[in-house]
Structure 1
Amino acid sequence: MARVARTCLRSILKIVNSTLGLVGIAMILYGFWMVRVLQRDMESPSFDDFDSTALWFIYTFLSIGVALCLITCLGHISADSSNGICLSCYMVIIFLLLLLETLVAADILLNSDWVKDLPEDPTGRFHDFREFVESNFDFFKWIAMFIILVQETNIDENPVSARDF
């Protein structure tokens, strides 16, 4: 009976990790699309005084996507090995990721001037992205709740007992 439960937990953990990995891959693809659009826009004469440090949004988006993909790989490894130490490390990383997401969400919800905390974006792409999110807020709210639900499910389904060590 315990073997069936462990196999079921492994399968569920892999499905949840695959969803998290797809989110990471989607972020990477969107980041590459933003780089392509930026390169196309840089060829126009209006980008003569372009500051290269303004690429913070693209770099952040790409690095978060890569981090999610690496976390997903660690989750698949821990699901296959059922090693207590690997599962514990994975759970700590997921917990820190959720904590970071909670802090960012709290800053956005409680700080009405949160946009002023961000660096300037001379390209205007961040403003376009923000308008797109605001115009489709209900859709993005469901996506955000789905991502958080997947991560919460990931934590809840990783029981580590003393016999695993």
Structure 2
Amino acid sequence: MGRMARSCTQSVLKAVNYAMGMFGVAMILYAVWMLRVWLRDRDSHHTQTPWFTYTVLGFGVLMCLITCWGHVAAETASGCCLYIYMVLVFLVCVFEAAVTADVLLNDHWEEDFPEDPTENLDKLKDFIKNNFDICKWIGFTVVALQGMSILLGIILKALGPHALMYYESDDDYLPERVPLLKSYVPHQSYNVVSEQFGPTNRFSEFENQPL
């Protein structure tokens, strides 16, 4: 029963993790499009650094890296990997909550950010205002996925990793059937010596023979 629960939790965590990865890929594609437009029209922008584009690109790459780490954590069910994964997702949630609170509670939130030479930040702001319902549900979905990933990580940590499997082989090499990401402990052979018999003295045979 525990093995089945662990496998189901791993599968759900992988699915949630992949969904967050798709969000990161979408941000990377959006940043690449903005960077392409900026390189085409950079003469009119006085060659200023497009910080908003680089921020979106960096955040998308970060989400993809967290997704890769989350896949390893879900596959191995290792406590260390799960802890790091949950901490990274939690820090991303804190960052998103801080930015959202600043935008909602501060009427002059635009002054907290440097000027964007590409004006993509203003375009994004107008797009969110015109499509607020869709953007709201997208934001709720992303936050829900992040919360589910942390919860599933806690559950998987409580269930623990897979039981160590011992593989017997006549060769000194690892068999091909050993999974790559599972913990492998080689089989150790022991020589059982009966305490009933003491050590044999080879010289006693010569002592009993007549000269």
TM norm structure 2: 0.72
Aligned partner of 1:157 in structure 2 is: 152
- Tell whether 2:41 aligns with 1:52: no
In structure 2, distance between residues paired with 1:97 and 1:68: 9
Aligned partner of 1:11 in structure 2 is: 11
Q: Which runs of 4+ in 1 moved over 3 A?
A: 161-164
In structure 1, distance between residues paired with 2:159 and 2:6: 15
The answer as to whether partners of 1:95 and 1:155 remain within 8 angstroms in 2 is: yes
Q: Which stretch of the first structure deviates more once superposed, 113-122 or 139-148?
A: 113-122
SS of structure 1 residue aligned to 2:46: coil
Aligned partner of 1:116 in structure 2 is: 111
Name the larger-Rg structure.
Answer: 2
Q: How many Å apart are 1:162 and its aligned residue?
A: 9.0
- Tell whether 2:30 aligns with 1:36: no
The answer as to whether partners of 1:10 and 1:80 remain within 8 angstroms in 2 is: yes
Q: How many Å apart are 1:102 and its aligned residue?
A: 1.1
Q: Which amino acid aligns with 1:161?
A: A
In structure 2, distance between residues paired with 1:17 and 1:78: 10
Q: Which amino acid aligns with 1:126?
A: L
Q: Which stretch of the first structure deviates more once superposed, 70-79 or 129-138?
A: 129-138
The answer as to whether partners of 1:84 and 1:161 remain within 8 angstroms in 2 is: no
- Tell whether 2:122 aligns with 1:127: yes
In structure 2, distance between residues paired with 1:142 and 1:107: 19
Q: How many Å apart are 1:163 and its aligned residue?
A: 5.6
Please identify which structure carries the higher helix content: 1
Q: Which has the higher contact order (CA 8 A, sep 6+)?
A: 1
Q: How many Å apart are 1:110 and its aligned residue?
A: 1.1
In structure 1, distance between residues paired with 2:87 and 2:116: 34
Q: Which amino acid aligns with 2:37?
A: V
Task: List runs of 5+ in structure 2 lacking aligned partners.
Answer: 162-211
SS of structure 2 residue aligned to 1:161: helix
Q: How many Å apart are 1:133 and its aligned residue?
A: 1.4
Task: List runs of 5+ in structure 1 lacking aligned partners.
Answer: none
TM norm structure 1: 0.91
How many aligned residue pairs are there?
159
Q: Which amino acid aligns with 1:84?
A: G
- Tell whether 2:102 aligns with 1:136: no
The answer as to whether partners of 1:18 and 1:72 remain within 8 angstroms in 2 is: yes
